[in-house]
Amino acid sequence: MAIESINPANGRLLRHFEAFSDEVIRQRIAVADDAFRAYATVPLEHRALWMRKLAAILEHETEELATTITLEMGKPIPASRQEVLKCASTCRYYADHSARILAPEAISIGSNHSYVRWDPLGIVLAVMPWNFPFWQVFRFLAPALMAGNVGLLKHSSNVPQCAIAIESLVRRAGFPRGTFQTLLIESKQVEMVLGDERVAAVTVTGSEAAGRAIAAQAGWLIKKSVLELGGSDPFIVMPSANLDLAIETAVQSRCVNNGQSCIAAKRFLVADEIYDQFESRFVAAMEEVRIGDPMKDNTEVGPLATKRLVDELEAQVKTAQAAGARILTGGERMVGAGNYFEPTVLVDVPRSCPTYREELFGPVAMLFRVTDLSHAIQLANDTPFGLAASAWTREPSEQQRLVTELQCGQVFLNAMVSSDPRLPFGGIKRSGYGRELSAAGMREFLNAKTVVIASPGAPTPHDDSRELIPFPDRRDMDTRDSD
């Protein structure tokens, strides 16, 4: 089957590739397995040298790589440049901080010497999405390779040129052959890769359906998995907020990456006292967003990545409208070449409507009026997702309640939600489990190995001089399994 790269701005075929056969997949896994045996023993300072070289290549070739991103998935070219540079900064972060993160942790337990060491697991399969085709990969790649793991990438089928470019970048930076490989495969072939006993773990960023299927298999195989499955993030605005900045950020957060971001604000919960002003100004700002050719520097919103995404977003808007929601602006796919959808604002979306609980992956916002902070928190948590939240208030007591009561993996106060290599990234509920980035993300695919070394003179299991402990009567024993 062909894997095709299609320009979403005009529908033109860029390139096509044949999916790997099962035999080629097995060969690539064998190469990765051989590579891990040697790579796990490579000194950390050598890995750091290669990682810094990788950062330098990304910085030097930003324009070329950004062009590939924009041509394949349609985000505005300035955002693609920023994505490449963010990957470079993440490479440098892990090159600089891995020695600290991986350092053995001494733990005092008495006379014996004990510590925890961090060992790599082996081959990690990464199933990655198209919306940030470099960043999503690098936030796995950098910590995994610095930790001594090796990676296999199954990227989205609509960004094969990005996937191939990333493998080439890793090799050119000096990483040994087989430490990171791209698999040009279909979704149905993921089961075969994960089922191979040489593959130790899997990380997935993508749809809820993909996450469920892969996590189910990983669970059956008893293999470690990390899931980041998107969200329906709330954007809460209370009366004390800096309204000018909140509205500006609200538009940016809803339209970032053409509205195709898991941490983009999607539900706007605004206090009744300021709701009317927020609504009118927010709608006006959404109408002023510049839509157009993503290769132009002044474009703010480009096309959605695929025609199917436009179809799905259009259906969600129509479902909401049929259920009683009102469209204040937009609401239609744009006529002509390319996968464009108008920036849209919906109000009065009823709780019974399926759109209320779904993730809107495009420039469509839902506005809700709330009576007070308790009402805002109730609506914010009324979702199957739990990735992140942005809340706007200058009241310390309200800030504390939001931090404590919002059910999500990240809370940003008076700021737009964003990812940072220094901070854990991930969610709860149907947004997934596990963490990416920071020390927490690096340790997801490491074995926390406990080591205890008896001190000289300490009693051992075969030392007859130790105090004898009577064996308990069977009737007094707890028959449950223990640690």
| Catalytic site positions | 228, 262
In angstroms, what is the C-alpha Rg of the chain?
25
Q: Six-digit token pair at 171?
A: 């090799």
- The Cα 424–Cα 408 span in angstroms is 12
Q: Which residues contact 11 (CB under 8 A, 6 or more apart)?
A: 307, 337, 338, 339
Report residue 465: phi and psi, to 5°: -80, -10
Report residue 407: phi and psi, to 5°: -95, 85
With beta carbons less than 8 A apart as the criterion, state whether 157 and 3 touch: yes
| In the block, residue with structure tokens 């990655």 | 128
Torsion sign across C-alpha atoms 247, 249, 252, 253: negative
DSSP state string for 12-49: -EEEEEEPPPHHHHHHHHHHHHHHHHHHTTS-HHHHHH
- The Cα 333–Cα 310 span in angstroms is 7
341 secondary structure, DSSP code: B
How many Cβ atoms sit within 10 Å of the Cβ of residue 259?
A: 24
- The Cα 154–Cα 25 span in angstroms is 11
Phi-psi region of 206 (alpha: psi -120 to 50; beta: other; left: phi over 0): left
Q: Six-digit token pair at 446?
A: 């490491």
How many Cβ atoms sit within 10 Å of the Cβ of residue 467?
A: 5
